[in-house]
Amino acid sequence: MTRRSYGQRSVETSNEDKILFPRPGLTKGALIDYYERIADRILPHLRDRPLVLQRFPDGIAQDGFYQKQAGSHFPKWITTVRVEVARTNGTQDLVVCDRTATLAYLADQACVTLHPWLSRRGRLDHPDLMVIDLDPAGDDFEAARRAALLVRDLLEGDLDLPCYAKLTGSRGVHVVVPLDRSEDFDAVRGFARAAMDLLASRHRDALTTEQRKNKRRGRLYLDTGRNAYGQTAVAPWSVRALPEAPVAAPVPWKDLERQGIGPRDFTVENVFRRLARRADPWADLRRRARALDRARARLARLGAGEDA
């Protein structure tokens, strides 16, 4: 056992030399080290949000599992929030990661990836983020890159909504809009779907909002399904359970404007060297939170004009 101290809290870790990522030889201790070092970056995106934990006790070469309910053995000082479970009328107590000690404890539990809700406690049914998920079929990241720029042009250019890009660390891109929590999930999801329907109508050969895979015909799916109560999106700076230990990374739009970028460019091994050379592209995200009423009116006018 090893004791790690974080101010008034300490975490006893075990088996730190256990290999979690066989290809780079990344150990559980190295995963804990990573989350310690990235805490200042990741905690603002986790604080106040219920978390779904993706754990791999036997390493990523074996099947992992998703955990929602906080474990009964978790320390009492770990913050939790009680949430309603859709379709069951029950409740669960989900972890809220609001301090470095919690990050370290979760990493010691072989929690590789953190999936926060799009809403925060206090108003769990009112999201403060809207997410458009661009996940290409296969490894065609170029299609996701081009789609992300088209989504940006619609949201920022036509609808005057600030939006931000995140490499998922897996295959695609998340385009994220900060919201002021004035609307519930149903309203936000309805807006997102209407906006993406318009974008797909403009680029019928490349984009679609068709949920059935057999009807997409090779077009990239503009997925708005994450904008629902209880849904999650991988946290910025979270490690993904893939070879080479890639990291979900916010990037400036200028990065996505160049070909050659990839969704797994940031890894546990190189992320701190990359961060040392650049400012945080999401530094002002919270300050730019918006309501959707004006954008909704703009969208209605655009739709009416293009249908005419």
pLDDT at 303: 81
Residues belonging to the chain? 308
Same domain, 81 and 54: yes
The helices-and-strands tally (H runs, E runs) of the chain is: 8, 15
> Of 116, 150, 166, which residue constitutes the final position of a domain?
116
pLDDT at 308: 54
Cα–Cα distance, 215 to 228 (Å, whole number):
23
Vertex 48: Cα angle to 44 and 50 (nearest 5): 115
Is residue 45 one of the residues assigned to a domain?
yes
Cα–Cα distance, 37 to 275 (Å, whole number):
12
Name the residue range of residue 210's domain.
Answer: 129-230+286-307
Same domain, 144 and 28: no
Q: How many domains does the chain have?
A: 2
Exposure of 269 by Cβ count < 10 A (0-12 exposed, 13-18 middle, 19+ buried)? middle
Torsion angle of the four alpha carbons 106, 108, 109, 114, in this order, in degrees rounded to the nearest 10 = 40
pLDDT at 103: 98
Is residue 41 one of the residues assigned to a domain?
yes
pLDDT at 120: 97
Is residue 279 one of the residues assigned to a domain?
no
Residue 207's domain is classified under what CATH number? 3.90.920.10
Cα–Cα distance, 172 to 132 (Å, whole number):
11
Cα–Cα distance, 267 to 75 (Å, whole number):
30
Query: Tokens 């295959």 sit at which residue?
Result: 171
> Of 116, 137, 168, which residue constitutes the final position of a domain?
116
Contact 262, 134 (CB under 8 A): no
Is residue 33 one of the residues assigned to a domain?
yes
Nearest to 216 by CA among 306, 151, 135: 135
Q: 210: which 2 tokens?
A: 């068709």
Cα–Cα distance, 216 to 81 (Å, whole number):
39
Axis crossing angle, helix 28-37 with helix 39-46, rounded to the nearest 10:
80
User: Which stretches of 112-212 are DSSP H helices?
Assistant: 141-152, 185-202
Per-residue pLDDT of the chain (308 residues; tens, 9 = 90+): 889 999 889 999 999 999 999 988 999 999 999 999 999 999 999 999 999 999 999 999 999 999 999 999 999 999 999 999 877 779 999 999 999 999 999 999 999 999 999 999 999 999 999 999 999 988 899 999 999 999 999 999 999 999 999 999 999 999 999 999 999 999 999 999 999 999 999 999 999 999 888 888 889 999 999 999 999 999 999 999 999 999 999 999 999 999 999 999 999 999 999 999 888 999 999 999 999 999 999 999 998 777 65
pLDDT at 278: 87
Same domain, 196 and 293: yes
Is residue 256 one of the residues assigned to a domain?
no
Contact 235, 249 (CB under 8 A): no
> Of 116, 140, 157, which residue constitutes the final position of a domain?
116
Is residue 170 one of the residues assigned to a domain?
yes
158 HSE (CA, 13 A, CB side): 22
Same domain, 73 and 152: no
Same domain, 147 and 295: yes
Contact 238, 113 (CB under 8 A): yes
pLDDT at 307: 66
Same domain, 297 and 213: yes
Query: Tokens 């990522």 sit at which residue?
Result: 21
